[in-house]
Structure 1
Amino acid sequence: MLARDRDRRGFHRSVNDPCVYHKGSTIDDQIFLLLYDLGPATRILGMDIIRDREKGVLKLSQGRYLKQVLRTFNMDDCKAVVSPINSAMKLRSFTQEELIREEPLMSSIPYASAVGSLMYAMIGSRPDLAYAICLVNRFIAKPGRDRWAAVKWILRYLKGATEVCLTFTRSDHMNIEGFCDSDYATDRDRSRSVSGYVFQVGGNTVSWRSSLQHVVALSTTEAEYMALTEAAKEGIWLQKICSELGFDSESFKLNCDSQSAICLAKNSVHHDRTKHIATKVHFIRDLVNDGSVNITKIHTTLNPADMLTKGLPRNAFEKCLVTLKVIT
């Protein structure tokens, strides 16, 4: 270990997260030091930290920040909606003629600023915004009125959901569990699919992502398989940092609602139809074979990663929020 990775008091810097230092040989005498945590933290980087030590509950809230965002973009008096994206909005790239028509109309509209402000909230404590931000961010270089309408829809959602918090509760275990999903060929320009995953440690949500897949999937099975692979990489990282900090994490559980993708991850029975898939995607089979990941079938209605790949009806969306402890 390099000298700069350990200070004179015996703390060791995490190789997986440079903001984390730890000291001690067993889980009972471990001390963890977060560089950005000075004393009992109540607010950090625009997030309020709300504690209830008796109940063992900690909440992260960006309510104050989001109210300021609404004021900045003159949406503080807007009418609230119940979901972050309108499923009827089908956005695509402009033709050259459309772009020429839209550019003058968008010249005075702060599209990029609004998307950036919303992205900061999503990264900090709001997985419920992940899919919507993934969608509007695709057009940040060439915005238009329909894209601006989508951004304002997100702001209208936040009007009624500024006080939603990412909630952590006391747990007697540190098990790592992930959920992944995909939406096949949802991109109207290049027919790429959307991947989404979310991970919980000790039953608390700690990591999430929604993104377009880098290549075009030729089937729903392939799209789900690629989503599994992306989720597995995140799970491996979480497993490493938990193990480094002294928690037992020899394997993690990964939930998927596609039985065919699970079968493909466990063996090559579909080889004739999937031999074109890039070799790097198949590394998940090694993880399954050596016991690093336990892939489990989950019903679509119970999969919270579903909200990271598409717009959902209100009841389904709220069910996802409850599972992830994104609540008021």
Structure 2
Amino acid sequence: MEDLGPANKILGMQIHRDRNNRKIWLSQKNYLKKILRRFNMQDCKSISTPLPVNFKLSSSMCPSNEAERKEMSRVPYASAVGSLMFAMICTRPDIAQAVGVVSRYMANPGGEHWIAVKRIMRYIRGTSDVALSVSWVSKLQTVVALSTTEAEYMAATQACKEAIWIQRLLEELGHKQQKIPMFCDSQSALHIVRNPTFHSRTKHIGVQYHFVREVVEDGSVDLQKIHTKENLADVLTKPINADKFIWNRSSCGLAET
């Protein structure tokens, strides 16, 4: 074996260290530039957000005849989305919501869908230097929620599971963690968490989603209300205006290297 010194790259990700401030970042700058060159977007005009506010894609935009399908067959849609998805999973949660939207039309993409993919690349063009090291997820829920409250309640359970896993990992590395603070902008979801006798609204929800009640009750997690304007998770769930997007991005730990 040979000691090659501190690691500076892993799985195509660059590792940046600031030992004085005890910080570490992961970056895919070189990979992202390679993607842009691959799809001839290296000289495109950059933009400030992956998708505009109130942006909508739908299946009605899919090709409706053979001529349109033949035209779109020449577009490397699946390859482009797959390339962006790898960056999203590794170091770029700021494009998670946008990539999640365009990935729904992989089977039969239309021209509008391809324009949206290229817009994400234009955003990447201006932000290829940003890096981070954190855990996140942005995806459609696998079960049907009958209300926004239920969706928030189920999401809180998933967030608790991830937070507790990270807490135990850090403890194994010698860093004892205290009670985990977690935030939710839904007052009604918080009410369900704190009121286990609220059966009329929750008796149909799967038992596994009540895990959040247990960890809040035993003190492992401190679930708190946060104002929607201060909710960092918005960048993972919907298109937002440029000012809030940039604030969310930096608050999540994404910084230029």
TM-score, normalising length: structure 2: 0.91
* Secondary structure, counterpart of 2:240 in structure 1: coil
Instruction: Quote the offset at 1:53 in angstroms.
Output: 2.6
Deviation at 1:43, TM superposition (A): 1.9
Change (3 A) 1:113 1:38: farther
Equivalent in the alignment of 1:280: 208
**1:302 CA displacement:** 1.3
Matched letter for residue 121 of structure 2: L
Q: What percentage of aligned pairs have identical amino acids?
A: 50
Q: Which residue of 1 aligns with 2:123?
A: 157
What residue in structure 1 maps to residue 49 of structure 2? 83
| Residue 250 of structure 1: how far off its partner (Å) | 5.4
DSSP 3-state at the match of 1:221: helix
- Structure 1 counterpart of 2:76, which letter? P
Return 100-109 or 61-70, whichever deviates more: 100-109
How many Å separate the matches in 2 of 1:101 and 1:231?
45
Distance 2:209 2:83 in 1: 33
SS of equivalent residue, structure 1 residue 208: coil
SS in 1 for 2:233: helix
Query: Is the Cα–Cα contact under 8 Å of residues 239 and 251 in structure 1 kept in the other structure?
Result: no
Shift of 1:93: 2.5
Structure 2 residues not aligned, in runs of 5+:
none
Aligned to 1:298: 226
Given the two structures, how large is their TM-score scaled by the length of structure 1? 0.72
The match for 2:99 is: 133
Structure 2 counterpart of 1:256, from 167, 171, 184: 184
87, 100, 105: which is aligned to 1:121?
A: 87
TM-superposed CA distance for 1:160, in Å, is 0.8
Structure-to-structure mapping, 1:180-199, within 5 angstroms: none
If asked which structure has higher relative contact order (CA below 8 Å, sep 6+), I would say 2
Deviation at 1:137, TM superposition (A): 1.4
Q: How far does the alpha carbon of each residue in 1:96-149 deviate from its partner, in whole angstroms, 9 at most, with x for none?
A: 972656421211111111111111111121111111111111222222212111
Give the corresponding residue for 1:308. 236
Q: How does 1:1-328 map to 2 (within 5 A)?
A: 39-94=5-60, 98=64, 100=66, 102-166=68-132, 206-249=134-177, 251-268=179-196, 270-328=198-256
Q: How many residues align?
A: 254
- 1:206 is paired with a residue whose SS is coil
Unaligned runs of 5+ in 1: 1-36, 167-204
Whether contact under 8 Å (1:86, 1:150) holds in the other structure is no
Tell me, in whole angstroms, the C-alpha distance in 2 between the residues paired with 1:122 and 1:293. 28
Greater fraction helix = 2
